[in-house]
Each structure stands twice: as C-alpha cells, then as structure tokens.
Structure 1
C-alpha cells in the first residue's frame, strides 16, 4: 500500500534515436508503401479462383470457408508476437523476416495440394500479421509530422495490392495454361522483390541501432476506448474479408462471368485507394471521428445488400458505393490506432491488441459466409450477417472516434536483454 508521500512514477523517457530525414525518409516511406502493397494479394487472389479450386480439388463449401478464414485467423493469432519481436530484433529486421515468410507461404500455395493451400495460407497469414502491427507503429515513430498523409498512402497501398490481385489473378491463370496453382504462386514474386529492396535498410545502421529499454504497457485490456478501437477494427475487417473472400463467388453465382466478377471486385477496391487517401487527413482535421466512422459503416452495409439483391445492371454502381464505404472505414480504423495512442510504443501495443483480437473476430465473417452457403445452398442468408457486422462496427466506430488517448496505467521499464 503506497504512503501519502509516494509520488507517481513518470513514464520513462526513451533514449534519443536517429530520425531519418530527406532522402532517407523518402526511401523509408516508399519502402513502407511497397511492403503494404504485399499484405493483401494473398486474400484477393484466392477469392477470384475459389470456384476453380473447389472444382479441381473437391473442397466443400464449408472447407472453402475454412480456407478463406485461415489466413485471417492467423492475423489475430500471430499479431501479439509482433511487439516482442520488434523489441528483440528491431522493427526493420522483423519486417524483413515477415517478407521472407510471406513470400515462402504464398509460393507454397502454388504447390497444387490441399495441404499446400492450407499450410501456405497459414504461413502467409502469420507474416502479414506482423506487418499489420508494425507498419502503423513505424508511421507513428518516423512520420510524426506526416501521420495523415502516410496513413493514407499506407492504406492506398493495401487496397492497391488487393485490387491488383482481384483484377489480374484470373487472367494470369488463363495465360499460364489455366493453372490456378501458378497464378496463386505468382504473388510470391512481388513480396520477394520488396524483401530484396528492404534488406539493405533493415540490415544497415537503422536495423542495428541500439534498442530502447523495454517499456511495459499495461492497462490496455482494461481500457474501454482500447476495446472500442479493437472491435471497430475487427468488425469492419470481418466485412472486408467477407468481400475479399466471397464477393467474386457471390457475383458469379448471380450470373456474372469469372473475369467480370473479378473486375467488379477490383474496381471496388481501386476506389478504396482514392478514398483511403482522403479519409485520414479528414479524420485528423475533425474534432472527433464519431460521425465519420459510423457513417462509413452504414454505407458499407447498404452497398453489400445492393450487391446481393439489386439488379445486376446496377452492380457497378453498388461496387462504387462499397468502395467508398470499405475504403473509408478501413483507413479510419487504422487511423484510430494512431490517433488514440500517445506515442509509437503504445501504438505498437494498441495495434497488436486491435489486430490480434480484431482479426480473430474478423475470421468469423468469411467462415460464416461459407457455412451459410453450405447450409442454404445460396448466399441470400448472408444479408443478415452483413447487417449485424455493419451495425456492430458502426456502434464501436462511434465510440472509438472520441477525442481521447487510451489509458495506460503502468509504465514500468527494464533493461533490454
């Protein structure tokens, strides 16, 4: 029990670190954007080929649901490891290991076996989990004066990678002798190239600089705002992975060709690129982000219902609306992690919490779509799932938009090993 004369312990001051400037900062920013580009093709490339994979491997709808869910689940399971790995090896070296693991897992999916599909998806998901957590923390650390623009570029690159995979995977498969295995494995190439580009930065002076003392971040799991940020991230991600995993099969089931369905998904994601550039600066300028977050969730839910039930002649219109909603809510959710954190160290831990708990929750979305399709033989029942996820995301987005920082009630430190 503390005495009346005890004074509260101030948070330990982190040692001075080299902050990149000029050309080094520009190179770092470009590299982070290239890394972000590779964090979503794993999901979108599988989606557009799912009917072919089901037909040629004999997967049931339920097992296909497990396959689309597995990498999303790995995002949640492995995200808590990222802050500890970054503290031990440095953010730069940890990201290099992530790129190598991502390239290896993506290549393994092209083995052609069901085991290769599942194991490769798990490895790629584990790598992506680490990147998801550390990239926002790097933005908070090295781009403190350009948070809005960098978060916009980051989310733009994420959307761009997903859009490229949605648009080009099926044409690639057709060009490679109708080989879905080669088309899936192709997306290991850009990850490997970026790993080569990133290696000199991660193994150079920035990657080997002395680590700061390990600061304990406690209290996040008891903070209501941290949970609201987490649930906002998780529920909007569930909608996003339902879209990336199942929108193309849904549209093909409604009568669109495989190429056209892929182009619709790609067009929607490409619009997310533009919206993701606009939302972070808007969010930063707002007194709070409550209306912005909730409104974007409403737009997303309405658009998904339109794609399920509206005439196919309006599919491009609803794809545009979906792009506005999902691009906005995803970039808003990432921006909440940065805005609700007092510094980069807390941002890494809040990002870990939001993306570990959030992505485990998000994994339920595509799994339920597959199960509902298996049980009902169609996709109409998923409307109830989309409505429930949109309402939940909107409520938590409203509260996550409060102009506050998460509360960390203990800032103890210990020397780094």
Structure 2
C-alpha cells in the first residue's frame, strides 16, 4: 500500500475538521459580545425610581444613568479604530469586555462616585465593541455579513429585553436591591471574554491589506469624514438611532396620553422590542441576497416607520398594530445600518473607521433626540408636534438611507 503523502492528507483532514470548529467558536464569541451591548443599559430603566429613592437623585440626574452611556458612545466611538490599529482588533475587543465587566461591578458598589465612574467605563467599553464588531464581521465573515449581523443584532435585542424583564425580580432577591440587578450582568461580560479569549492569540492590526490591488493601504483611503457616501451612511445611522431611542423612551407616555393604561403601554413596548428581533432576522436574510443594492429594503422599512408614527397620530386606539410595525421596521433598519459598514468598504480597517464615524454621530443624536422630543412635548403640551417632528425625521432617513443603499464603495 502506497503511503506517500499520507501525512499531508492527514494534516489536510485535520485542518478541514478544525476550520468549522474555529469559525463556530468565533461566531459564538461574537454573539456573546453582542449579547452584552445593551443589557447593561436596559437594566437601568425599570429600576430608575428605586435608584432615585435610594440615592436621593433628582430626576434629571437619574436619567443621566441612561443618557451617559449614549454620550460615551458618541465621544469614544472615533477612538475605536485607532486603538485597534495600535493594539490589534482582537485584543481591543477583549480589553473592552474586561473594562465592561469592571464598570458594571464598580457602578454597583455603595459609593456614589463609583456609580458615575462605572457607568462611564461601561459606556467606553460598549462604544469600542459597537464599532469593532462590524469590522470583525467584515474580516471573518466577508460573504455572510448580512446573516451574521442579523444574528448578533437579534442576540443583542433579546438580551436587552431579558435584562429589562429580569431587572425588578432580581432586585428583590437580596437586600442589595438594584445593585445586585445591575452587577449580575458583569458575569455575561466575563463569559463572553472567556469564549472570545482564544482569539487573543491573534493581533490583527486593521492598517493594511493582504491584497493591495483590491484593498489599498489605509493611507491611500480617503478619510470617511470627507466622503459623501460616508456622510449618507452616518446620517442614516443617526436618524435610525434617534428614532429608536425616542420610541424606547417616550412610546409608553405617548400611548398613556391617548388613554391606554400604563400596564398595556408597557406590554406594547415589550412587544415592539421582540418584533425588533424578527425585524433583525428578516432584514439580515434579505441583505444576504441583496448584498450589493439594498434600495428595495429602504422603500419598505422607512415607509413602515412613517405608517407606524402616523398611525399613532391619527388612530391611537390601534396602538398595538403601530407598535408591531415600528418594532419590525426599526429592527430592520438597525441591521441595515450595521451591515452597511462592511458592505460599502474594501477592508475591515476601513469598515472600523466608517463605523466609528457613523456611530459617533449616530449615538450623539440618540442621546439628544429623546431630550429634544421631550422638550417639544413640554412646550406644546401634547404629543402631536413631537410625532410630526419624528415624521419629518423620516424624510431625512429615507434620503440618506436610499443613497447609502446604492451599489458603490467608499474610496
């Protein structure tokens, strides 16, 4: 029997067996990072009154526990790509998970400055992870970016809803109250780090390409801040973020003002968030097929936003229908916004730079949008003017998203 080449064949067989396992582990690690991206924020809302009562915080200061992480997203997102270029994509993400766990624990200790320092650390870590996950997908799943983006968006949404739902029950488990409910989510960050840690042996510096003819050196890239296409993507992301966080903040109050009970309004908001998971997955499947041109998605998703907002304005007694519709459309738009970072770029380094730009401005509006809508509500003594303002925002959303969805790449 001829054994020539047998070791090579065995090595190839081992490599082919190991490759799916490695890809599977990378995907699991990526999904676990995604699970951490909102849980530390959404756990706060249901416990905000308890935190206020315990610490004697005024309402404006208490609401900063939610707005501060979003402001951190805006401030620190542009730093993610330079950090990854210096430290490596994997190590930067791993470090962000450790900082996230430390921040969650620190804000749970009984010391007032720790509450704010821990919240700021949490915001910094999430800003870095938000920006770099699309770059990781661009690198490791270049042909399945839409599906993977949808999967981690759905995981993110599911754990965000889970954190909201478990917040009050967990707070009642021990005398620590809201502190234990806040702190328990550090465990999820540490689990994600443990699963992702084998990737730390790599040190991908998103500064150069292995195929210069196709993916030129980043010094040859035009800065995304000077690209018209990048600004369309950024404005689309900003409009989506402002709408989503405004709905999460004010939708129950809008329903209550139209005679819907608080309990029913809260249920509708939960349904909206779970419909967002369906929107994540449906849009991901469509983007996977329409990888080059996504304008067909935009002509469905943005008008769905318009119908949902208009429905609440004109027929508020059908609030459940409008909540379902907005859940599906906003869930779809976030997948589009995240997937487009990889679709419109040549290389994962360029994807990280674009992601940093778009998420910086996007989350700045996400932090300011609910406050602005609240101010308009206060000055107009009703919700008609705020809803009309949200409808006007959808015109901006449609124009920017349509241009972002056109089949072209950044320079």
With the shorter chain as reference, the TM-score category is 0.7 to 0.9
CA gap of 1:309–1:40, structure 2 versus 1, over 3 A, is: farther
Tell me the TM-score normalized by structure 1: 0.81
Structure 2 residue 243 is matched with structure 1 residue 239: yes
Shift of 1:87: 1.4
Across the two proteins, how many residue pairs are aligned to each other? 386
Q: Distance in 1 between matches of 2:189 and 2:279?
A: 25
User: Which structure has more RCO (C-alpha within 8 Å, separation ≥ 6)?
Assistant: 1
What is the correspondence of 1:211-226 to structure 2 with a 5 Å cutoff? 215-216=218-219, 217-226=221-230
1:144 aligns with 2:142: yes
**Structure 2 Cα separation of the partners of residues 63 and 369 of structure 1:** 18
The match for 2:300 among 272, 295, 299 is: 295
State the Cα distance separating 1:402 from its structure 2 match: 0.9
Does 1:107 find its partner at 2:112?
no
Partner of 1:229: 233
Report the equivalent of 1:364: 368
Q: 1:339 to 1:371 in 2, by over 3 A?
A: same
**RMSD between aligned alpha carbons?**
3.2
Distance in 2, matches of 1:261 and 1:174, equals 24
Give the CA deviation at 1:274: 2.1
Inter-CA distance 388–73: structure 2 relative to 1 (3 Å threshold) = farther
> Residue 84 of structure 2 aligns with which residue?
86
Question: Residue 268 of structure 1 contacts residue 320 of structure 1 at CA under 8 Å; is this kept in 2?
Answer: yes
Match of 1:186 among 174, 184, 187: 184
Give yes or no for contact 1:164–1:266 (8 Å, CA) kept in 2.
no
Counterparts in 2 of 1:57 and 1:370: CA distance versus 1, 3 Å: farther
Note if 1:173 corresponds to 2:171.
yes
Distance 1:56 1:81 in 2: 35
CA contact (8 A) 1:163 1:267 kept: no
Structure 2: unaligned runs, 5 residues or longer = 1-14, 210-216
Cα distance in 2 for partners of 1:290, 1:396 equals 11
Distance 1:186 1:308 in 2: 40
Q: What is the alpha-carbon distance in structure 2 between the residues aligned to residue 398 and residue 238 of structure 1?
A: 18
For 1:415, the equivalent position in structure 2 comes to none
CA contact (8 A) 2:103 2:118 kept: yes
Contact 1:68–1:366 (Cα < 8 Å) also in 2: no
Question: Which of the two has higher C-alpha Rg?
Answer: 2
After superposition, the C-alpha distances for 1:299-357 in whole angstroms (9 at most, x for unaligned) are: 23443455677556x44333211211111111011122111112222111111111122
Return the offset for 1:278.
1.8
Q: Does 1:403 align with 2:401?
A: no
Encode CA deviations 1:73-94: one digit per residue, 9 max, x unaligned: 1112111111111111111111
Contact 1:176 1:183 in 2 (8 A): no
For 1:410, the equivalent position in structure 2 comes to none
Offset, 1:263: 4.3
1:106-125 matches, within 5 Å, as 106-111=104-109, 115-125=113-123
1:272 paired residue among 276, 283, 290:
276
Tell me the secondary structure at the aligned position of residue 110 of structure 1: coil
Structure 1 position 28, deviation (Å) = 0.3
Structure-2 residue corresponding to 1:15: none
Return closer, same or farther for 1:257/1:55 CA change in 2, 3 Å cut-off.
farther
Alpha carbons 1:90, 1:207 under 8 Å: kept: yes
- 1:106·1:185 contact (CA, 8 Å) conserved in 2? yes
2:389 is aligned with 1:389: no
Moved more, 24-33 or 43-52: 43-52
Q: Partners of 1:45 and 1:189 in 2: how far apart?
A: 14
Distance 1:52 1:322, change over 3 A: farther
Cα displacement (A) at 1:381: 4.8
For residue 46 of structure 2, give the secondary structure of its aligned residue in structure 1.
helix
Instruction: Name the residue aligned to 1:330.
Output: 334
Gap regions ≥5 residues in structure 1: 1-17, 408-417
Q: Answer whether contact 1:241 1:362 (CA < 8 A) is retained.
A: yes
